[in-house]
Each structure stands twice: as C-alpha cells, then as structure tokens.
Copies of this chain bind each other. A is one copy, B any other.
Amino acid sequence: MAKIIDPWGSELPESYEKIVKDFGLEIFDPKLFPQPNRLMRRRVVFAGRDLKHIATCMKEKKKFYVLSGIMPSAERLHFGNKMVVENVAYFQEHGAKTYMLVADLEAQATRGISLAEARKRALEFHIPAYLALGLNPKKTLFYFQSENKTVMHLGYQFSKRITLNEFTSIYGSADPGRLFAALTQVGDILFPQVQEEPMPGIIPVGIDQDPHIRLARDIVWRTKQSHKLFSPASIYHKYAPSLDGSLKMSKSKPESCIELPEDMKAVKRKILRALSGGRDTLEEHRKLGAVIERDMCFELLKQHLIEDDKELQEIYYAYTSGKMTSGEIKQITIEKMEQFMNKLEQGIAKARKRVDDLQFVKFGE
C-alpha cells in the first residue's frame, strides 16, 4: 500500500480520549491487523481491549470467534449497526468463527414485541440487512436468544458471581430489568466458548456498549475456577456523528439522523441542511479552504461512502484548499448516498430470498 498522508487525523477528539483513559482501553493501531478495513484505516475504530491477542490468533491461524447481536425491535438500522457489521465481517474474513444472535428476549422485555413478532422482523428485515451490509451467510451461525437455553443458564449462573455494588459501579444503576438483560448479554458474549470450547473472541461494539464487555470480563475472572473461559476482546468504533455536528446521530433528532435504509428524498434534504465546513463567502472559501473537521458530509464520505483512500484524499485536498465548495461536496455525498441506499435496498431484497439457507446454532434437546 502506498504511503498515504493521514488527512483525517489520528488524534482522538477529546471526548474519545477521555473514554480511552477512563475505561482503560488500548488505542487502536491499524498496523496491528492485516488489511485493516476502512473504519480501521480511518480511525473510526479508535480503541479496543486485548487486540494483540486477537492479532496473534489471526497471524497464527488459531481458532477465535467474533460475535454480535441484532435487536429486532427497530424498524430500520443506523450507521452504528453498519459499523458493527463491517467489523464483524472483517474478522469473519480473517478466520473468526462468527456468531450472530437475535436479541428477541430483550426486544420482548423492553419493547413489548412478542417473540414471534421479533423472529418475523429479524428474518424479514434485520438479518437480510446485515447480509446486505457485508455479513457472509455461509460463515455465520445465527441464534435466537429465546431459544438458547445455554445462554439463559449462563445468565442465571453468572448472577451469583457479582454483587449489586459491582454491577452499579459498571452500569451506573442496577434496576432488575437491566440486570437481567446485561447478564443474559454476558451469556451471549461467552456462549461460543461454552458451545464449542474455550477460545479467544472479539466483540465489535459502539463505545456505549463497553459496560457489557467489562461485565463479561469481570465474570470470566470470577468464574475462572468453574468455567475457564477466555476474556472477550473488544473493538470500539466512534459514534456516527449527528448531521448537526453533535457527537452522536440519534433518532430523537430525525433531521440530523439518516436511517438505513431511508427514502432518498428525505436523505437529500437532510444532507443539504447538514453542518458544513464551508466558509461564509465563496471568496473566503477559495482563499482559506474548508474547515473540514466540522463538515458532516466529509465525515459521511470518510466513514461510510468512499472506500478508496485515494479518492477520499483527493476530495480532502480539493475541499481544504478551497477548490471544492461545500455545495459540491454535498452533491458528491448525495450521489454516493444514493448509490449506497440503492445497493442496500437491492441487497436486502436479494438477501431476503436467502434466509432459508441461513445456518442456525443447533441446540441438542
């Protein structure tokens, strides 16, 4: 790979630096992994735990797993889901056994969706969307949380290994619903090791999911006599930034949030209104160039819409030098987004026809 200048900065914004420090994370170094994916190369993936352990597994072709979950309540996905899928797909392509669970119990308890409805939604939308985003169905083992007795048993067993204070110190609070959900998730995280054999595993998550990782790691430590499991490694991506420039895209601000998939008419409107790095006047812009750090279209291009580093780099130079205007970058973003949305919708439609071929974990009865 040609040496490229790193136009998007390897410095972490202050808020992420604080997270890394507070939670004792390792800062992610893309050189650690072979053929790092777009998110890794561009430091959207910014931190992790036990990453060297996983790098060794990849290098030495040792058995390891990657696991993530699908929450089948949401009607659409968001860019956070996309990043998780891309990281899962990365490890999948680099030899990880891949587990993907459907959190139907959590959807039922927190959203009042019946297990039957959760299953229907997962099969009709979420799983096909995950495949469309890059998950390889031939290399993925799926399961529904509600059918996985081992996971439920693990949650129950683990409940005896932590105190309320420990739980509260990780999660900030400890209402019973949160406790059940969290301990069941720890059951999910460690399930492949119980189902197959103890082995390293990596869990790609948004940083807000780190409490589950910490709880899982604490529980591995506390059950080392009885279970002898490996502590799960983890890898963290940044939030997809809100189109208004704030830290996190959120459905609570629909005009600053793009869902997956979403109708392009709305998406276009949102992109045109997004926070821009363009200067107040064209003259000033030509002279000073864009303030690229605050340009949400460039963020979208960088994080999601342009795969080729050189292409991105050219836009970076053109925009920061003032050759490209914010109107032009918005047009590019709209075009790329339209291609992406079309591809996603076609991909979902196509994957929907393949759900009968999915591989599910087989539970001995």
Contacts and interface: CB of A to CB of B under 8 A. Distances in A.
Interface of A: 105, 108-110, 112, 115, 146-147, 149, 152-153, 155-157, 159-164, 167, 173-177, 179-181, 183-184, 226, 365
A interface, over-half SS: helix
Q: What number of copies of this chain does the assembly contain?
A: 2
A365 B146 CA distance: 11
B180 A159 contact: yes
Contacts of A176: 159-160, 162-164, 167, 174, 179, 183
Contact of A163 (B155, B161, B175, B365): B175
A194 to B, nearest CB: 12
A108 B167 contact: no
B164 A180 contact: no
A84 to B, nearest CB: 23
A351 to B, nearest CB: 26
A171 B278 CA distance: 61
Contacts of A147: 149
Contacts of A108: 153, 156-157
A294 B70 CA distance: 64
Contacts of A110: 160
Contacts of A153: 105, 108, 115, 146
Contacts of A157: 108-109
A96 to B, nearest CB: 28
6 contacts: A108-B156, A110-B160, A152-B152, A156-B184, A162-B176, A164-B175
Given A176-B179, A176-B183, A183-B176, A156 B226 contact: no
Contacts of A112: 226
Contacts of A164: 164, 173-176
A159 B146 contact: no
B149 A146 contact: yes
A105 B156 contact: yes
Contacts of A160: 109-110, 176-177, 180
B365 A159 contact: no
Nearest to A147: B149
A174 to B, nearest CB: 6
B180 A156 contact: yes
Q: Which 10 A-B pairs have the closest CB atoms?
A: A159-B180, A160-B177, A152-B152, A159-B176, A159-B177, A109-B160, A109-B157, A105-B156, A156-B180, A164-B175
Contacts of A184: 156
Nearest to A106: B156
A365 B152 CA distance: 16
A108 B223 CA distance: 13
A292 B280 CA distance: 99
A363 to B, nearest CB: 9
